Amino acid sequence: MNLNWTAILPEIFITLTALGVLGIDLFYTRYQKDKTLNAIVTLSGMGIAFLLLPFLSAKTQIFTSLFVLDPLAIFFKMVFLISGSMTALISINYLKMEGFDLGEYYGVLLFSILGMMVMASANDFILIYLGLELMTVSFYVLSGFFKTDLRSNEAALKYLILGGFASALFLYGISLLYGVTGSTEISYIAGYLTEQTRTGADSVAGVTSAVLSHPLLSLSLIMLLAGLCFKVAAVPFHMWTPDVYEGAPTSVTAFMSVGPKAAGFVVMLRVLLVALGALEKQWMVILAVISILTMTLGNIVAIAQQNVKRMLAYSSIAHAGYILLGIVASARVLTAGSASVVFYILSYAFMNLGAFTVLLALRKEDKQTGLMVPAMDLEDFSGLSKRDPLTAFLMLIFMFSLTGIPPTAGFVGKFYLFMSAVDANLVWLAVIGVINSAISAYYYLRILVYIYMKEPKVVQSVDNSSSLWVALYVMALATLLIGILPNLLFNVARASVVSLF
Amino acid sequence: MLLVIIFTIFAAITIISAGMVAFSQNIVYSAFSLLFTFFGIAGLYVLLAADFLAATQLLIYVGGILVLLLFGVMLTHKIQEVNLSNESMRLAPAAIVVLAFLGLLSIAIYRTQWPTVPVPELTPTTARIGTLFMTDYLLPFEIASLVLLTALVGAVFIARGRVKK
């Protein structure tokens, strides 16, 4: 068998790094004071994998086309590696402060990234499922990482039970699809279904063929969508999100709101636009409804939240709704729609990670014990601009970007998304999106009101470890740069999706 | 015809025992009913001429996982007197959703023209599965091993006592 091994070199590298990080704990642990070495190895592993990616030849298929490396996969792997390394950077000091500075954290983090990378490249439902499980199993562990914290336990348990349920639905969908088409391979299913459409159109004009009108095909579509919507936290599969996001360690929540979401969307792009492209009339309607529900529920419930972490959880639900809107649009305008989805996911990764990082960095004095504990409530942010103007300003950038105010990445991202909806003749959908952005301004800007216009109520402090600030500066700069020079990145996004079709 | 009868028997064993797993009030009964569920599924695999899968089903699920599960049930103190803090069962809405879904599935399955193949002959499949795992399906095989490794690392991490500082 002749294999082009270079195509999976980044994955091999991440695997070796993960095993190495676990190995450090095994052999080297008595010589080191803390786990900084694990973090450094993790970061350099991800860095090397990231640098390898542009040099690999795109459009390679290996393992009899189980695994494809196209520009879309490369783009998403870069998103995963960037957000993963940001997460590792912000975790170093956070884990020390919370008393859980353990090496396993980095190993499991790397495995979750490996799972996402496999999902981005998978051209077969078996591989998609395995990547999904690798990612999810890692997050079961990560969300329960503060194991003496009851809420962290609750988060892990809730995610485990509901995640298992979603995986089962997804698997059921795969098995039904296999029953109808006779294959689990995405490109084969795509070809088979397109051919059925064509022969159906030939025989009787306007009547779709027997296979396409299979009730079973629609059923498997619904089940696949249910499994994926769970991972990207879309309504009505969002129930776990607020509790899990609130209970999990903040660094994990930050990564959870970006990585699995992006991975879920890349699978959605491949499954819906390629494998089930022939069924677009069906999934377009379903996704349009889900998108509207997700945006509206996320934004309206976020208004009622006093806990900032919970509020950001609902905000991330709302953002999944915006991205779904782009996928609906790409049913009609393939390239523009999916390019805007890809573009928005990268912008969202930076701004959302940034917002969570500010939340993670901010600590307040507990009135009873006098210890510094993580700040969670809206009140804890009051008067931050007077105590720490720089942190306050960075939060302003991220909040502006999440709202969609120029000149930030969020504005351009939303502009492209809504424009593609207009191009697709879905003006009403774009209007609902814009109304939702206006609603979201209320709760994003309310944080800024607390930061800039109120007097401090508690003793605050901001984590000043250099690793965290490197990450924070990178994310703030990226958020601004994407907002000022969007064309460059949008062309990359467009080039990455063209290879899909 | 004989095949249909055997299939019905195995399917009935699987479904009835699965129902007992879910509805039994006593967790020991549930665990033992699971034995029959696994056994019934192994029988279905044999009918599909998947001999290797049937053998692994018996070896791993019945021989390994179930025994472990029973040990867990037997050794856990007062496992039958667990007080549930959340008592809202919502039986009626759950029943409606489940029955509606069952109806939908049955209609879809009956209306579908399944692409069928003739009943395969009972030839050993182990060698072919082994070759495929080492060639075409090498990557899924390796990823599956990493999933297990991650689950193992996570389980050890969570089960281990508090780390000394």
pTM over 0.90: yes
Whether B103 is covered by a domain: the verdict is no
Q: Which domain holds residue A355?
A: 280-501
| Structure token pair of residue A468 | 């965290």
Chain B contact set for A154 (CB, 8 A)? none
Whether A117 is covered by a domain: the verdict is no
Residues B2 and B66 in one domain: yes
- Please name every residue paired with A365 in a beta bridge, in sequence order, or none if there are none: A372
| Structure token pair of residue A306 | 């006093």
| Structure token pair of residue B103 | 């109806």
Residues B23 and B78 in one domain: yes
Whether B164 is covered by a domain: the verdict is yes
Whether B39 is covered by a domain: the verdict is yes
Whether A452 is covered by a domain: the verdict is yes
Whether A436 is covered by a domain: the verdict is yes
Chain A contact set for B108 (CB, 8 A)? 214-216, 218-219
Cβ atoms < 10 Å from Cβ of B15: 12
Output the average pLDDT for chain A. 89
For residue A364, give the 3-state DSSP assignment: strand
Whether B94 is covered by a domain: the verdict is no
ipTM at complex level: 0.89
Contacts of A104 (CB under 8 A, 6+ apart): A22, A25, A141, B153, B154, B157
Residues B76 and B150 in one domain: no
Q: Is B115 in Cβ contact with A127 (below 8 Å)?
A: no
pLDDT at A2: 55
Among A487, A492, A318, which residue's Cα sits nearest to residue A416? A487
- Does the pLDDT at position B87 exceed 70? no
Among A486, A122, A220, which residue's Cα sits nearest to residue A339? A486
Whether A407 is covered by a domain: the verdict is yes
Q: What is the mean pLDDT of the segment spanning A317-337? A: 92
- Does the pLDDT at position A292 exceed 70? yes
- Please name every residue paired with A38 in a beta bridge, in sequence order, or none if there are none: none
For residue B37, give the CATH number of its domain.
Answer: 1.20.120.1200
Residues above pLDDT 70, as percent of chain B: 90
Q: Is B139 in Cβ contact with A127 (below 8 Å)?
A: yes
Lowest model confidence (mean pLDDT) among A51-55, A62-66, A253-257: A62-66
Q: Is A137 in Cβ contact with B154 (below 8 Å)?
A: yes
Among A317, A479, A311, which residue's Cα sits nearest to residue A393? A479
Nearest to A140 among B136, B139, B154 (CB): B154
Output the average pLDDT for chain B. 85
Kindly report, residue by residue over B5-16, the tens digit of the pLDDT.
999 999 999 999
C-alpha to C-alpha distance for B140 and A96, rounded to whole angstroms: 36
H/E/C letters for each residue in A412-473?
A: HHHHHHHHHHHHCCCHHHHHHHHHHHHHHHHHHHHHHHHHHHCCCCCCEEECCCHHHHHHHH
| Structure token pair of residue A259 | 């990585």
Name which of A29, A67, A111 to mutate to probe chain B: the one with the most chain B Cβ atoms within 10 A of its Cβ.
A111
Kindly report, residue by residue over A20-59, the tens digit of the pLDDT.
999 888 887 777 777 888 889 999 999 999 998 888 877 7
Residues B5 and B72 in one domain: yes
C-alpha to C-alpha distance for B83 and B42, rounded to whole angstroms: 35
C-alpha to C-alpha distance for A409 and A78, rounded to whole angstroms: 18
Whether A125 is covered by a domain: the verdict is no
- Does the pLDDT at position A174 exceed 90? yes
Whether A204 is covered by a domain: the verdict is no
The conformation of residue B81, written as its DSSP 8-state character, comes to: G
Nearest to B158 among A111, A134, A147 (CB): A147
A312: pLDDT confidence band, cut at 50, 70 and 90? Answer: very high
The CA-CA-CA angle for residues A313, A317, A318, to 5°, reads: 115
Whether B26 is covered by a domain: the verdict is yes
pLDDT at A205: 41
Residue A191 exposed, middle or buried by CB count within 10 Å (0-12, 13-18, 19+): middle
pLDDT at A204: 45
A206: pLDDT confidence band, cut at 50, 70 and 90? Answer: very low
Among B72, B73, B40, B33, which residue's Cα sits nearest to residue B57? B40
A207: pLDDT confidence band, cut at 50, 70 and 90? Answer: very low
Residues B1 and B79 in one domain: yes
Kindly report, residue by residue over B32-85, the tens digit of the pLDDT.
899 999 999 999 998 888 889 999 999 998 888 888 888 888 887 666 666 666
Domain end among B55, B85, B115: B85
Residues of A near B (Cβ–Cβ under 8 Å) read: 1, 8, 15, 22, 62-64, 66-67, 99, 102, 104, 107-108, 111, 114, 118, 124, 126-127, 130-131, 133-134, 137-138, 140-141, 144, 147-148, 156, 179-180, 182, 210, 214-216, 218-219
Distances (CA, A) of A204 to A28, A197, A210, A213, B7: 72, 11, 11, 14, 39
Kindly report, residue by residue over A448-458, the tens digit of the pLDDT.
999 998 888 88
Lowest model confidence (mean pLDDT) among A20-29, A155-164, B35-44, B139-148: A20-29
Kindly report, residue by residue over A373-422, the tens digit of the pLDDT.
888 888 888 888 888 899 999 999 999 999 999 889 999 999 999 999 99
Q: Which domain holds residue B146?
A: 125-165
Q: What's the Rg (C-alpha) of chain B?
A: 21
Chain B contact set for A141 (CB, 8 A)? 150, 153-154, 157-158
Contact A90, A468 (CB under 8 A): yes
Highest mean pLDDT among A102-116, A269-283, B78-92: A102-116
* Structural domains in chain B (count): 2
* Structural domains in chain A (count): 1
Whether B30 is covered by a domain: the verdict is yes
Q: Is A214 in Cβ contact with B143 (below 8 Å)?
A: no
Q: Is A107 in Cβ contact with B153 (below 8 Å)?
A: yes
> Strand A460-462 vs strand A60-62: parallel, antiparallel, or unpaired?
unpaired
Q: Is B144 in Cβ contact with A140 (below 8 Å)?
A: no
Domain end among B85, B115, B134: B85
A65: pLDDT confidence band, cut at 50, 70 and 90? Answer: confident
Whether B2 is covered by a domain: the verdict is yes
Amino acid at A490: F
H/E/C letters for each residue in A83-98?
A: HHHHHHHHHHHHHHHH
Q: What is the mean pLDDT of the segment spanning B150-162? A: 87
